Structure 1
Amino acid sequence: MNRFLGVFAAGVTVNTAILSAQTEQPNVLMVIVDDWGYHDLSLTGSKLYETHNIDRLADESTTFSQAYVAYPRSVPSRYSIMTGRHCARMQTGAKNDDRKVDTDSYCIAEPFKAGGYETFFIGKWHLSDGKTLPQHKGFDINIGGGKAGGTGTHFAPFNKPSDTNPDKLIYGMDDANPGEYLTDYMSRKTVDYIRQKHDKPFFAVCSFYAVHTPIEGKKELIGKYRKKVKSLNLSEDILKKEEAGVTKTQQDHPVYAAMIESVDNAVGDMIAALKETGQYDNTVFILISDHGGLSNRGMKPRELATTNSPLKAGKGHLYEGGIRVPLLIHTPGQHDKQIKDQMVMSYDLLPTLADICNLKVSKEAELDGISIKPLLDGKKQEQLDSRDLFWHKASERPNSTGDYVSTAIRSGNYKLIDFYLQNRVELYDLSKDPGEKNNIAAQNPEKVTELMAKIETWRKNTGVKMGEKGNAEHKKKKKAGKIGNKIAEK
């Protein structure tokens, strides 16, 4: 039995001596999962994936049914998580959508470091401009965080012998046991850190390389899920045409399922360590994904991991499957389940955590996020209901993940996506159509005009890049008159 499940089942009491030594400020443990879709949990209805530990954590947390990230790919999304800023804001010297943490960036660990916290980071950083690793942005300890956006393999040693590009190599994880699974290694190191004697409260980030490709899992779990897939009596997955390519329509990948269970077991081990050391009731625990699951591909053949259905599309897309993510926040002493349907953004985490921990954010920090602590405290937050949310993509990968450049706005129940190089607009009422199946733009020209005006104002104020470069395919089609000025109907 997983230790976390055992703690819950047995009702283990915590060490009161340790509790009495706790500081007034809580610890913070943030877990970021890579490429983890909104419906990649048993908690959200998956019949294949098993996330029993996360489900139990949700019973003592606030879960968000409409939590969003600022971008459907890793680097820009993680930039917003770490800085509290929208990744669409202009950055000097940046390529389209290439948001790096530079020397001027204010990052999430800095208010904790300034407030007397110990700080710890392990795993995927992917935000370095060469001078801005985690240890340069407020983290005392950095294990494996560098330029690398993925691992050559999930089994140690994690760098393949053929990997020679220093930007793709993982450094600082050479102490892994031979053949050790990367998720297990990261969990073990995080648990070791939790169990250390802490004279101060800690802020720790475990940023998994899972469940990103390569899709590799532990043999015993793969075997378990192969049997489970058979027991579900699924038919062949016929990929469905979507945007520039096709999308997966069912969850049937046993190796990907094994990767998810390994993440779930890691979360269980971390919480077990918090409980056994008496720190659970004085810890804020955050669990979030950086964007939707890998469900779509373009003309380029590639292995797909999952489906985000009934949400549309996935990684790379501004449809709901690409930007709506799992988000759980457990606050100190919380033992009840809260479900919130207010729209929240990943860049709200920095101000929220600083607020919970009574930390000062630098006056020079330019944050787009707001603290949602009142919402976590059970209070109404009208500011969230009236806030418009925006997304912008200046880069596209029609051959890889089958997506086009676009800007989107969520205003109340309405969501508009402007495929601006194609002169194509789509409008959805998410209260009636969360799967974005029925484009109602043609029937609602006034709403389209209203939301497009908001987009234009936001793009101007934010200073976004419009992504003209690198989109020769669309320029050619537009010049040939194959793309017209019309509202597309689907």
Structure 2
Amino acid sequence: MKKTSLYFILLIVSFFSCEKPETKPNILFILVDDFGVKDLGFSGSEFYETPHIDQLASQSFVFTQGYANSRVCSPSRASIMTGKFTARHGITDWIGEKFGEDWREMQRHDKLLPANYVHSLSKDDTTIAEALKRNGYRTFFAGKWHLGSEGSYPEDHGFDINVAGWESGSPTGGYFSPFKNPKLENKVNGENLSMRLANETVHFMKQNGNQPFFAFLSFYAVHGPIQTTQDKWGKYQTKANAKELQEKGFKMERKLPIRQVQDNPVYGGLVESMDDAVGVVLQALKDLNLDKNTIVVFTSDNGGVSSGDSYSTSNLPFRGGKGYQWEGGIREPYFIYVPWENSNGK
């Protein structure tokens, strides 16, 4: 096994080995899509409400200079899975993006053309799921994958169970069922996607709490399409009006305007729904008496979308956002909760 493949295991196990329990710890990895470092109340947002994640952060080791390995999703996710830099695993852009002369079809006139890239996660690379599985862990994946098509899904890279992980980089049916996802059965019409993924994760923990497990909860949120309920939209619309934030403006950055203020009520509702789902999983750990032996990792795959797809959020004071190689595009919320360590958000 290559040394780079052990990066994550070394980080979360060996680094905290001084007082670790005799039994193997469970690992819950929570990955939020397109979530900016400033999108948490814990990190300074005065608009979005994320009480459950904030509480987790306050008890965790907080990495104040956490960075993604790429400004877009697929390369960053491949790095998380393998411990390799993008140039080594070869996925250097989001899978599905055009390259070479095809780039011109999108009316882009950059002098330099993007190079070709690997379009699926290589089976020659050891994933964290494969490494943990070899060491007696039951492995579970729920949510966004975006690391290849059929033949390169989570179950092909070490995960015993795969719920909703396939080739799409966004929720094809939106955030309310029917989901139009071949890896996710529709149950209740109008069901919230983030909560469904949380409930599937809880079900896995209930079924496998008697053995060490690795649960990778990979939210499609907060990737576009930006959607929320009427109630949550109304809450954040009222909040924006009260703060006189609504449509405070954008600033032009070379080719695209970039949102300068966190004032998007639809995005606020989407963020809160994701936080609600995180809360369900964390509460389940307590209810199942698994919280004392479960390491929880929380991070994102790239910066918040401040321009382009949905103009969702602002990453200020960091420049840019998703798709940009500036701080706003790669700076991430990143913290690790280790129950037998007293970190208090430091």
User: TM-score per shorter chain, which class?
Assistant: 0.7 to 0.9
- Give distance in 1, aligned partners of 2:63 and 2:247: 33
Equivalent position of 2:303 in the other structure = 292
* TM-aligned CA distance change 1:312 to 1:84, over 3 Å: same
- Give distance in 2, aligned partners of 1:63 and 1:156: 35
Q: Is the 8 A contact 2:91 2:121 kept in 1?
A: no
Equivalent position of 2:261 in the other structure = 250
Equivalent position of 1:53 in the other structure = 52
Q: Is 1:196 the equivalent of 2:207?
A: yes
Q: Compute the displacement of 1:92 (Å).
A: 9.8
Q: Is the 8 A contact 1:102 1:128 kept in 2?
A: no
Instruction: Give 3-state SS (helix, strand or coil) of 1:203's partner.
Output: strand
Letter in 2 for 1:123: G
Instruction: Give 3-state SS (helix, strand or coil) of 1:122's partner.
Output: strand
Select 1:327's aligned residue among 321, 325, 334. 334
- Give distance in 1, aligned partners of 2:37 and 2:118: 24
Select 2:179's aligned residue among 155, 158, 167. 158
* TM-aligned CA distance change 1:75 to 1:90, over 3 Å: closer
Equivalent position of 1:77 in the other structure = 76
Q: Give per-residue Cα distances to partners, 1:306-325, cap 9 Å, x unaligned.
A: 01000000000110000000
How many equivalent pairs are there?
304
Where do residues 374-413 of structure 1 align in structure 2 (5 Å cutoff)? none
- Give distance in 2, aligned partners of 1:118 and 1:281: 18
Query: Which structure exhibits the higher relative contact order, with contacts defined as CA atoms closer than 8 Å and separated by 6 or more residues?
Result: 2
* TM-aligned CA distance change 1:175 to 1:303, over 3 Å: closer
Select 1:122's aligned residue among 130, 134, 142. 142
Q: Is 1:183 the equivalent of 2:194?
A: yes
Instruction: Give 3-state SS (helix, strand or coil) of 1:113's partner.
Output: helix
- Give distance in 1, aligned partners of 2:208 and 2:297: 22
Q: Compute the displacement of 1:303 (Å).
A: 3.2
Where do residues 37-52 of structure 1 align in structure 2 (5 Å cutoff)? 37-52=36-51
- Give distance in 1, aligned partners of 2:22 and 2:159: 20
Where do residues 300-449 of structure 1 align in structure 2 (5 Å cutoff)? 303-339=310-346
Letter in 2 for 1:215: I
Instruction: Give 3-state SS (helix, strand or coil) of 2:88's partner.
Output: coil
Where do residues 165-244 of structure 1 align in structure 2 (5 Å cutoff)? 170-234=181-245, 236-244=247-255
Q: Give per-residue Cα distances to partners, 1:250-287, cap 9 Å, x unaligned.
A: 01111100111111111111111101111111001011
TM-score, normalising length: structure 1: 0.60
Q: Compute the displacement of 1:129 (Å).
A: 4.6
Equivalent position of 1:267 in the other structure = 278
Q: Compute the displacement of 1:243 (Å).
A: 3.1
- Give distance in 2, aligned partners of 1:100 and 1:281: 36
Equivalent position of 1:139 in the other structure = 159
Structure 2 gaps, min length 5 = 1-20, 96-114
Equivalent position of 2:10 in the other structure = none
- Give distance in 1, aligned partners of 2:128 and 2:89: 20
Q: Compute the displacement of 1:333 (Å).
A: 2.1
Q: Compute the displacement of 1:176 (Å).
A: 3.1
Instruction: Give 3-state SS (helix, strand or coil) of 2:27's partner.
Output: strand
Aligned-residue CA RMSD in angstroms? Answer: 1.9
Instruction: Give 3-state SS (helix, strand or coil) of 1:28's partner.
Output: strand
Letter in 2 for 1:285: V
Q: Give per-residue Cα distances to partners, 1:419-443, cap 9 Å, x unaligned.
A: xxxxxxxxxxxxxxxxxxxxxxxxx
Larger Rg: 1
- Give distance in 1, aligned partners of 2:91 and 2:140: 29
Letter in 2 for 1:270: V
Instruction: Give 3-state SS (helix, strand or coil) of 1:196's partner.
Output: helix
- Give distance in 2, aligned partners of 1:255 and 1:96: 35
Identity, % of aligned pairs? Answer: 39
* TM-aligned CA distance change 1:131 to 1:23, over 3 Å: farther
Q: Is the 8 A contact 2:137 2:214 kept in 1?
A: yes
Equivalent position of 1:391 in the other structure = none
* TM-aligned CA distance change 1:97 to 1:306, over 3 Å: farther
- Give distance in 1, aligned partners of 2:84 and 2:149: 17
